Chains A and B, each alone.
Chain A
Amino acid sequence: MSDKEKAQRAGVNGEITLGDVKNEKKIRRKELTSKGEEKLAYWTLVLPGFLIYFAVMAFPTLFSFILSISNYYRGGQLFGPKAVDFKLVGFGSYAKVFQDEYFYVALKNNFKIVLISVFGQIPLGFILAYILNRGLVKFTGFFQTVIYLPCVISTVVIGILFKSFFSPTGAWPEVIRIFNPAYQPTVNANPMASVLLVILWMYTGTYLLIFIANLQKIDSSIIEAAKIDGASEFQALRYIILPALSGVIVTSAILAISGSLKSFDLIYVMTGGGPANRTTVLSIFMYDKAFKGAPNYALANAISTIMVIISFLLIGLTKLAEKKFGGKE
């Protein structure tokens, strides 16, 4: 049936004219064009981000996994005339990783860093932020600057600084000699302790800043009202401030955990993972397998894949924690 016929038939009833039919078609076409444009806009916005994510995150992760189950032990070109004989050989590299005693030392050290970050940097950052925000000490600006200062100094500079500080001829033995003149430096029974101390000192400022920013958002009149009603400083902290900051605390914990797994630069410069791998972490352990002596890239990639899996597990855990404790602001 043509448009004219449609209009004529409809016209009998005096409902639809030829012009109406044409208008309806125009509207439909316009709607379709809008949907197409919407789709185009969507892909235009999403595609660059997706491509970048795929190129720098997803692809290297997948590629790393493939290398970890391959015979790409000594490296070499994968394509071209000089390409190596590349084969998938199974999970032998993973077995090697799990048989290596120093893998567990590295893993343990990573967890120590997670612990010092979550239960050291965050509480300390919060306490310092609380003291400064509530004006419990004078010169708050000065203290804020001093505490935040390590965050703006290059990690390599800090690493070299503390490497010298803790060396047997450095400042640390001299400090001890003030109290014990007969002191002779000996090897530290727990060399990781000095590394953890530096990590605590270095990153507490970041959490201080996060907590101060969020503490400033809390309306001071609420705290004052509570005080008028007879609440103590501790009660104000316990029942007003901490609940208001619960979401920030969980977010800080996520930041701390993800940052801990990435630990490399400071430890690499400060100790190189030594002595006898006592201060190594997974990233240094992986780096050593790839670059110290003849490389074993399959093994290094197996460690890298294990690190990705651990990251997913920890992110899952923090998400669970967020569900339970977060978002009460």
Chain B
Amino acid sequence: MTKLRKVALVALIALFSVSMVFAEGAKEASADGKVTLRVLNYIDMSEPNSANEVALVWDKFSAENPDIEIIREDLFNEPFHQKTESYVASGNVPDVLYMWPSGRSTSLHTTGSVQDLRPWLERDGLLDSFSAPSLAGQAGGYLGELPNGVTSSHIMFANTKLLADNGLAMPETLDDLIAMVDVLAPKGIQVIAMDNMDSWVMQSCLFSLVVGRYGAADWYDRLAAGEIKFTDDWFVKALEAIDTLYAKGVISRASLNSPYGNCRGEFAAGKAAFLIDGDWAAAAFMEDITTGKALLSREQQANDFEMVVFPALPGEVVSNTTSGVVGTGWGMSADLEMGTPKAEAAWRLIKYLQGEYVQEYRLSTGASFPSNLNVDVAKVIEEKNLEPFIGKRAEFYNTYGTTPVIDGVLHSDVYNIINVGLQEIGLGAKTPATVAAEVQKAWEAWAASNI
């Protein structure tokens, strides 16, 4: 063997040795019997109490379960979704992961990267412990994640004191809202505050509701059956409504430069009469338990602010609805086999995360509304003296009907076109008819290979 070959051989051996060290990954169980779980967690950095979750949820679990070691990755917003896609592409998803029932987590469901959790619930006799809607099939047709609850992707937070101070009543129609512009704009007050820089916000928090109002609750089923098209009146009218909101100044075009979470402070400070966001935004106004400070005090929450839905639209076919979807929750890697120590540890963690303690904690911070039926919402609110927004949120769910959230039922190849199209309308660069035609084209392309 020549010297050159010897050198090459040594280099290769060294390279492979180093690779093996890094490629070894986490073992199923260590010598001391500890099981290691890799967890991908979502922490909402726009909520004041999100950081406390580490001590109150995760550290508590570790203290109660010394035989399980958790390697946790905390991410938020886009980086979270992009990391999820990378995991799916690599075929190496974490053992337990936070996920959506569809939308941005569609790949996890459709590639079978996570497993059906229904057999686990059945095995442990827990099927009756969760609300029936929360256990419905998800993007992959099975229970890919055990949800925290059912989410309303739309709430119109109203500053009733500001309205009264300006001689305005709660709007009942779109025209009422438009009429407010002349009263509030000269005073530098926006009618509706939104953060539309991220393209999903308009689609998820307002447009889904508008589509539901014109297309009714079963619009997706009729679309999939080929009975209606995106170029039909129901969808074009919905796009026109958004166009009108921008054109009349009800929603400022400047909101397209506003990053998500930015305008909540402005709304709380009385710079806007309404804020449109998802139900999760309620948490942003509540008390930070570490500092005792809140964007809205208990008195303000009780007396000066309400949670309602967008007022009636001209020609709507259903009224007083919001847009809703099964909430986020926890899934388990499909690689874990029931009965193995790792799978059992992962299931123990999921049961804990959707158990009474964590769901009560999430309720108290406003993060989500429980899917676990053992959590008595009214009792918890009273016993823990929770903030008025929690009670108002419970009332909101009981008051309004629900239609689907667009990214909860459509594939991203289609809803991404809607998201960008809504921004194009906001910029005044495309007409509703043009956007409708583009969405129909994307839908046909997707449906051709998937329906």
Which residue from A43, A168, A277, A295 sits with its C-beta under 8 Å from B258? A168
Once bound together, how far apart are the Cα atoms of A47 and B176, in whole Å?
A: 75
Question: Is B159 part of the contact surface with A, judged by Cβ < 8 Å?
Answer: no
- Answer whether A187 and B254 are a contact pair too, CB < 8 Å, given A40-B4, A48-B11, A167-B262: yes
Which residues of the other chain, B, contact A2 by a CB distance below 8 angstroms? Answer: none
A168 touches B89 (CB 8 A): no
Question: Is B253 part of the contact surface with A, judged by Cβ < 8 Å?
Answer: yes
Which residue from A77, A168, A186, A271 sits with its C-beta under 8 Å from B91? A77
Which residues of the other chain, B, contact A82 by a CB distance below 8 angstroms? Answer: 91
B107 touches A186 (CB 8 A): no
B413 touches A184 (CB 8 A): no
Question: Is B411 part of the contact surface with A, judged by Cβ < 8 Å?
Answer: yes
Which residue from A74, A168, A291 sits with its C-beta under 8 Å from B252? A168
Once bound together, how far apart are the Cα atoms of A166 and B78, in whole Å?
A: 21
How far, in Å, is A224 (CB) from chain B's closest CB? 53
Once bound together, how far apart are the Cα atoms of A166 and B259, in whole Å?
A: 10
How far, in Å, is B75 (CB) from chain A's closest CB? 13
A191 touches B257 (CB 8 A): yes
Which residues of the other chain, B, contact A297 by a CB distance below 8 angstroms? Answer: 89
Question: Is A259 part of the contact surface with B, judged by Cβ < 8 Å?
Answer: no
| Chain A interface SS verdict (over half) | loop
- Answer whether A293 and B259 are a contact pair too, CB < 8 Å, given A168-B254, A185-B252, A186-B253: no
Which residues of the other chain, A, contact B88 by a CB distance below 8 angstroms? Answer: 75-76, 295
Residue from the set B7, B85, B263 with the largest chain A CB neighbour count within 10 Å: B85
Scan residues 146-188 of chain B and give those whose CB is less than 8 A from a CB of chain A. Answer: 185, 188
A295 touches B85 (CB 8 A): yes
How far, in Å, is B406 (CB) from chain A's closest CB? 12
| Chain B interface SS verdict (over half) | helix
- Answer whether A294 and B258 are a contact pair too, CB < 8 Å, given A187-B253, A278-B427: no
A276 touches B423 (CB 8 A): yes
Which residue from B3, B188, B256, B271 sits with its C-beta under 8 Å from A187? B256
Scan residues 1-51 of chain B and give those whose CB is less than 8 A from a CB of chain A. Answer: 2-4, 7-8, 11
Residue from the set A74, A75, A184, A293 with the largest chain B CB neighbour count within 10 Å: A293
Once bound together, how far apart are the Cα atoms of A76 and B411, in whole Å?
A: 19
Which residues of the other chain, B, contact A294 by a CB distance below 8 angstroms? Answer: 106-107, 110, 411-413
Question: Is A326 part of the contact surface with B, judged by Cβ < 8 Å?
Answer: no
A275 touches B411 (CB 8 A): no
B8 touches A47 (CB 8 A): yes
Which residues of the other chain, B, contact A74 by a CB distance below 8 angstroms? Answer: 89, 107, 111
* Binding stretch for chain A, among B194-202, B378-386, B387-395: B194-202
Question: Is A125 part of the contact surface with B, judged by Cβ < 8 Å?
Answer: no
Scan residues 77-96 of chain B and give those whose CB is less than 8 A from a CB of chain A. Answer: 78, 81-82, 85-86, 88-91
Question: Is A292 part of the contact surface with B, judged by Cβ < 8 Å?
Answer: yes
B254 touches A185 (CB 8 A): yes
Question: Is B319 part of the contact surface with A, judged by Cβ < 8 Å?
Answer: no
A295 touches B257 (CB 8 A): no
User: Which single residue of chain B is at the shortest CB-CB distance from A44?
Assistant: B7
B197 touches A271 (CB 8 A): yes
Question: Is A188 part of the contact surface with B, judged by Cβ < 8 Å?
Answer: yes
Question: Is B310 part of the contact surface with A, judged by Cβ < 8 Å?
Answer: no
Q: What size tier do the contact residues of chain B reach?
A: 35 or more
Which residue from A44, A75, A292 sits with its C-beta under 8 Å from B82? A292
A274 touches B413 (CB 8 A): no
Question: Is A290 part of the contact surface with B, judged by Cβ < 8 Å?
Answer: yes
Once bound together, how far apart are the Cα atoms of A271 and B82, in whole Å?
A: 17
Which residues of the other chain, A, contact B256 by a CB distance below 8 angstroms? Answer: 187, 274-276
- Answer whether A276 and B429 are a contact pair too, CB < 8 Å, given A186-B253, A294-B413: yes
Question: Is A272 part of the contact surface with B, judged by Cβ < 8 Å?
Answer: yes
- Answer whether A187 and B82 are a contact pair too, CB < 8 Å, given A75-B88, A276-B429: no
User: Which single residue of chain A is at the shortest CB-CB distance from B86?
Assistant: A291
Question: Is B104 part of the contact surface with A, judged by Cβ < 8 Å?
Answer: yes
How far, in Å, is A127 (CB) from chain B's closest CB? 32
Question: Is B234 part of the contact surface with A, judged by Cβ < 8 Å?
Answer: no
Once bound together, how far apart are the Cα atoms of A51 and B429, in whole Å?
A: 50
Which residues of the other chain, A, contact B416 by a CB distance below 8 angstroms? Answer: 292-293
Scan residues 269-284 of chain A and give those whose CB is less than 8 A from a CB of chain B. Answer: 271-272, 274-278
Which residues of the other chain, A, contact B415 by a CB distance below 8 angstroms? Answer: 293
Residue from the set A44, A75, A164, A287 with the largest chain B CB neighbour count within 10 Å: A75
Question: Is A112 part of the contact surface with B, judged by Cβ < 8 Å?
Answer: no
User: Which single residue of chain A is at the shortest CB-CB distance from B446?
Assistant: A294
B254 touches A186 (CB 8 A): yes
Once bound together, how far apart are the Cα atoms of A274 and B262, in whole Å?
A: 16
Shortest 3 CB-CB contacts between residues of A and residues of B:
A293-B412, A75-B89, A276-B423
Interface of A toward B, CB cutoff 8 Å: 39-40, 43-44, 47-48, 51, 74-77, 82, 102, 163-164, 166-169, 184-188, 191, 271-272, 274-278, 287, 290-295, 297
Interface of B toward A, CB cutoff 8 Å: 2-4, 7-8, 11, 78, 81-82, 85-86, 88-91, 104, 106-107, 110-111, 185, 188, 196-199, 252-259, 262-263, 265-266, 271, 411-413, 415-416, 420, 423-424, 426-427, 429
A-B contact pairs, 6 of them (CB 8 A): A168-B254, A185-B252, A271-B197, A274-B423, A291-B82, A295-B85
